[in-house]
Structure 1
Amino acid sequence: MRARLLIASALLSTAAAAQAGTLTLGAGEDFVHFNRTPSGVGPGITLDYLKRDGGDSAGGAGLDFALPAGPVTLAVGAKGLAIDSDAGSASAGLVGARVHVELPAGFALFGQAYHAPESAASGSVKSVNDHTAGVRWQPLPLVSLEAGYRYFRIKREDAARSRTLADGAYLGAGLAF
Structure 2
Amino acid sequence: MKKIALASLLLASAGAQAISLNGQVGKDYTNFGFGLGTGSSGIALSGNWAHSEDDGDIAGLGLGYNLPLGPFLATVGGKGLYLNPDEGSEGYAVAVGGGLQWSLTSSFSVFGEYYYSPDSLSSGVKDYQEANAGARYTIMRPLTVEAGYRYIDMTGKNGRRDNVVADGPYVGVSASF
Q: Give the alignment's TM-score, normalised by structure 1.
A: 0.85
Map 1:27-176 to 2 at 5 A: 27-37=25-35, 38-54=38-54, 56-87=56-87, 88-104=89-105, 106-123=107-124, 125-176=125-176
The share of aligned pairs that are identical, in percent, is: 32
Q: Contact 1:14 / 1:43 at 8 angstroms: preserved in 2?
A: no
Classify 1:156/1:28 alpha carbon distance in 2 versus 1 (closer, same or farther; 3 Å).
Answer: same
Q: Which range is displaced more, 87-96 or 150-159?
A: 150-159
Q: How does 1:19-30 map to 2 (within 5 A)?
A: 19-30=17-28
- Which residue number in structure 2 is paired with residue 4 of structure 1? none
Unaligned segments of structure 2, at least 5 residues: 1-9
The amino acid that maps onto 1:82 is Y
Moved over 6 A (4+): 12-15
The alignment covers a number of residue pairs equal to 166
Does structure 2 conserve the Cα–Cα contact (< 8 Å) formed by 1:18 and 1:43?
Answer: no
User: Which structure shows the higher helix fraction?
Assistant: 1
One-letter amino acid of the counterpart of residue 27, structure 1: V
The two structures have a TM-score, normalised by structure 2, of: 0.85
Measure the CA separation in 2 of the matches of 1:46 and 1:149: 19
The separation in 1 between residues aligned to 2:136 and 2:167, in whole angstroms, is 19
Any gaps of 5 or more consecutive residues in structure 1? 1-11
Backbone CA RMSD of aligned residues: 2.2
